[in-house]
């Protein structure tokens, strides 16, 4: 039988708000062939008895209007947790299924109409208890995951804070390093400037000393030259005076005075000495 014909046959099992899939030798609810099965929320009665079902769909609880569910003579051990959502369920038959002990105790014998009604009520109560446990477990898991997430976030914040502090410390160290390098450069420049200043002052002092020494050397002979010049002038004046007196004593009437007699004699002696020297010089030159 082809898949399309099988789907067609299964769809033929749906009649209004009821579906009868009993004696179809099903090992599972044909949700693959009838993907809309659990969305048929209008269903009131479902018969899955006398098959080989080992499990029911997880979203079976979507059938919120289901009142009658026959699961007689299958291989079910448990029911999906969503079964607790079948709040309209009034009749349930779970006979001849290898149910786990807790579920089997809640289901009872289901030997008559009354027991099947009690089965639906007690199984719903049992499944709601399981749902509560699942919800609490999920809440605990979510809380644990939330706490783990908080811890991860706290560790992340701590790591980010440490990284931020490390970056801040690195920036401070880098800034301090640059400041020290700048101060060292300024100190070196100041030392160079100071050395230059000292060199200039030393040169200036040496130049001043040399200038002072030169000035002393140059100015030292000046008094000497001035003294010699003064002496020369005095001697010249004296000679002029003597020449004037000699001229006066020889050329004027004063030559007969007693004062002029030694002067005239000295002049005559000087002229006689000069003539003698002139003769000596001529002899030297002629020889």
Select from 39, 38, 36, 14 the least CA-distant residue to 24.
14
Please give the pLDDT value at position 69. 97
The proportion of the chain whose per-residue pLDDT surpasses 90, expressed as a percent, equals: 49
Select from 82, 83, 75, 135 the least CA-distant residue to 100.
75
Which residues of the chain register pLDDT less than 70?
1-9, 211, 215-226, 242, 245-259, 261, 263, 267, 274, 287
Residue-wise pLDDT for 88-108, tens only, equals: 999 999 999 999 999 999 999
Outline where the chain has alpha helix (H).
3-11, 101-107, 113-219, 221-251, 260-286
37: alpha, beta or left? (left if phi > 0; alpha if psi -120 to 50): alpha
Interhelix angle 221-251/260-286, rounded to 10 degrees, is 110
C-alpha distance across the termini of the chain, in Å: 174
Handedness of CA 206, 208, 212, 214 (dihedral sign): positive
Residue pair 66/97 in contact (Cβ under 8 Å)? The answer is: no
H or E element in which residue 47 lies: strand 45-47
At residue 20, the 3 state secondary structure works out as strand
């Amino acid at each position: 039988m082809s898949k399309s014909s099988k789907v067609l046959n299964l769809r033929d099992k749906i009649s209004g708000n009821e579906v009868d899939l009993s004696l179809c030798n099903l090992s599972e609810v044909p949700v693959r062939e009838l993907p809309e099965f659990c969305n048929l929320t209008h269903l009131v009665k479902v018969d899955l008895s006398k098959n080989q079902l080992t499990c029911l769909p997880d979203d079976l609880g979507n059938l919120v209007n289901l009142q009658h569910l026959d699961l007689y003579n299958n291989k079910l051990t448990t029911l999906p947790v969503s079964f607790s959502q079948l709040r309209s369920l009034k009749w349930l038959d779970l006979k001849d299924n290898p149910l786990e002990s807790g579920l089997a105790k809640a289901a009872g014998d289901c030997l008559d109409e009354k027991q099947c009604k009690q089965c639906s009520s007690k199984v719903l109560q049992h499944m709601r208890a399981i749902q509560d446990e699942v919800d609490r477990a999920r809440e605990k898991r979510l809380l644990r995951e939330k706490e783990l997430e908080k811890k991860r976030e706290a560790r992340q914040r701590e790591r980010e804070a440490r990284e931020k502090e490390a970056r801040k410390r690195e920036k401070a160290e880098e800034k301090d390093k640059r400041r020290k390098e700048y101060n060292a450069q300024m100190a070196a420049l100041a030392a160079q400037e100071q050395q230059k200043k000292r060199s200039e002052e030393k040169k200036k002092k040496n130049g001043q000393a040399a200038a002072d020494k030169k000035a002393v050397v140059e100015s030292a002979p000046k008094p000497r030259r001035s003294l010699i010049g003064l002496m020369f002038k005095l001697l010249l004046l004296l000679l002029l005076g003597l020449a004037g007196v000699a001229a006066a004593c020889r050329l004027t009437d004063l030559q007969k005075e007693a004062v002029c007699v030694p002067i005239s004699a000295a002049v005559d002696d000087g002229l006689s000495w000069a003539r003698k020297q002139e003769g000596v010089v001529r002899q030297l030159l002629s020889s």
